[in-house]
């Protein structure tokens, strides 16, 4: 998030880092099971993935100096600073009550509307956005797990302690709040085998780029149908020039790790490849991304920003399910090409190793494509 009192200053700080960062463009895909025919994207993203983001791609998301005005119960989290998105969600779910939520009486359309109204009432301009890997029916009840199968959770909070410009104050608190919520209200296990926390607090694992990418691999490893996964990220988000040509806006959305000045940022292409595509059918994931420029940071194909017109559509019934994000037309074509590049590996392997071979082939194809773009621009 950006500081609530001076979002422009924080945006300038991250933009400066964005221009200086190395580019990361690897994307891997999986071959659909019906050989010879590429299906629509929602069918090769096999798992059900839902993301609530704090703002649209072009917006900043606020870091609030004191969330006491959010009206949270006294026993919720440490208090003090926090992200507007994380704490708006906390306000909404606690106002609704755990019993109603668990009995399926809190649909996604009401959750999104409640978050939007709350942020507007607090005079935040950021517009929350709901995204999914499939055309989520907005009358479906909000849930973080199906109450069966195993759980795995990854929580990342970065205050950029000691960085001076761009330093945040509420991201560690956000992680503590969400950790309490998913464990106490949804039964997520705190065992090190099931939960990983990255914070720049000197006690938890440091949220460097390498550690975050390793945590992504940990999260999706050994996942099977019936498992429920949760990701929470609270920190800076940014944008950087898209050198693959698959973004209508010309920019990739990014997570900003602690060592972004030397290691670079984590682009949406990487999050799609490393977190979304490897998940098996029958697995569910919920992600809460409380950072700037986060509307499509997981590259999910279906989304709805909580604008006034879209909220009116949910109310009058003209919007029933998450619509396709029309901005993804270029990305979908590129993913089809990536799948074609990896198809031989899949067919030859015919099993898990074949999938891995296909993804490696695809990543290699994308790497060559990215290198060609950089050579044209004199960067290699």
Catalytic residues, by residue number, are: 236, 292
Name the token pair of 308.
Answer: 């006034």
d(CA 286, CA 178): 12
Distance CA 310, CA 72 (A): 27
CB half-sphere exposure, 217, CA atoms < 13 A: 5
Rounded Cα–Cα distance for residues 160 and 221 (Å): 28
Task: Name residues whose C-beta falls within 8 Å of residue 261's C-beta, 6 or more positions apart in sequence.
Answer: 17, 20, 21
Nearest-angstrom CA–CA distance, 257 and 2: 15
**Per residue in 53-84, is it b (16+ CB within 10 Å) or e — as a string?**
bbbbbebbbbbbeebeebebeeebbeeebbbb
Question: In angstroms, rounded to a whole number, what is the distance separating the alpha carbons of residues 131 and 304?
Answer: 6
Q: Which residue has the tokens 């009058």?
A: 316
Integer angstrom CA distances of residue 69 from 46, 84, 119, 142, 354: 40, 11, 12, 25, 53
* Cβ neighbours around 278 below 10 Å, total: 21
d(CA 57, CA 237): 10
Rounded CA separation 43/49 (Å) = 12
Q: Answer for the pair 125, 59: CB distance below 8 angstroms, yes or no.
A: yes
Nearest to 69 by CA among 77, 81, 58: 81
Inter-residue contact 360 to 348 (CB < 8 Å): no
Q: Half-sphere exposure (CA, 13 Å, Cβ side) for 52?
A: 23
């Amino acid at each position: 998030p950006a500081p609530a009192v001076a979002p422009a200053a924080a945006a300038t700080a991250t933009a400066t880092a964005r221009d200086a960062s190395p580019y990361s463009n690897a994307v891997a895909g999986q071959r659909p099971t019906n050989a010879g025919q590429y299906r629509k994207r929602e069918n090769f993203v096999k798992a059900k993935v839902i993301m609530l983001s704090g703002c649209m791609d072009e917006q900043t998301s606020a870091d609030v100096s004191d969330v006491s005005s959010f009206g949270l119960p006294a026993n919720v989290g440490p208090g003090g600073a926090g992200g507007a998105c994380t704490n708006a969600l906390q306000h909404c779910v606690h106002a609704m009550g755990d019993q109603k939520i668990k009995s399926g009486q809190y649909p996604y359309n009401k959750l999104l509307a409640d978050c939007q109204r709350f942020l507007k009432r607090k005079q935040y301009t950021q517009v929350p956005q709901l995204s999914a890997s499939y055309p989520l029916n907005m009358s479906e009840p909000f849930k973080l797990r199906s109450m069966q199968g195993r759980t795995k959770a990854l929580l990342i909070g970065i205050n950029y302690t000691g960085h001076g410009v761009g330093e945040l104050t509420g991201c560690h608190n956000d992680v503590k709040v969400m950790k309490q919520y998913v464990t106490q209200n949804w039964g997520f296990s705190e065992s090190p085998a099931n939960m990983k926390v990255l914070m720049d607090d000197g006690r938890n694992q440091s949220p460097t780029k390498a550690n975050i990418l390793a945590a992504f691999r940990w999260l999706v490893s050994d996942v099977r149908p019936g498992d429920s996964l949760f990701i929470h990220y609270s920190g800076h988000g940014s944008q950087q020039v898209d050198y693959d040509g698959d973004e209508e806006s010309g920019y990739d959305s990014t997570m900003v790790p602690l060592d972004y000045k030397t290691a670079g940022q984590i682009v949406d292409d990487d999050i799609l490849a490393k977190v979304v595509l490897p998940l098996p059918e029958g697995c569910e994931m919920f992600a809460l991304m409380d950072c700037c420029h986060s509307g499509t940071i997981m590259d999910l194909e279906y989304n709805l920003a909580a604008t006034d017109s879209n909220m009116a559509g949910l109310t009058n019934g003209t919007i029933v399910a998450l619509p396709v994000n029309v901005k993804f037309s270029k990305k979908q074509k590129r993913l089809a090409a990536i799948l074609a590049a990896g198809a031989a590996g899949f067919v030859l392997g015919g099993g898990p190793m074949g999938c891995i071979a296909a993804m490696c082939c695809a990543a290699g194809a994308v790497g060559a494509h990215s290198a060609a773009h950089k050579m044209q621009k004199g960067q290699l």
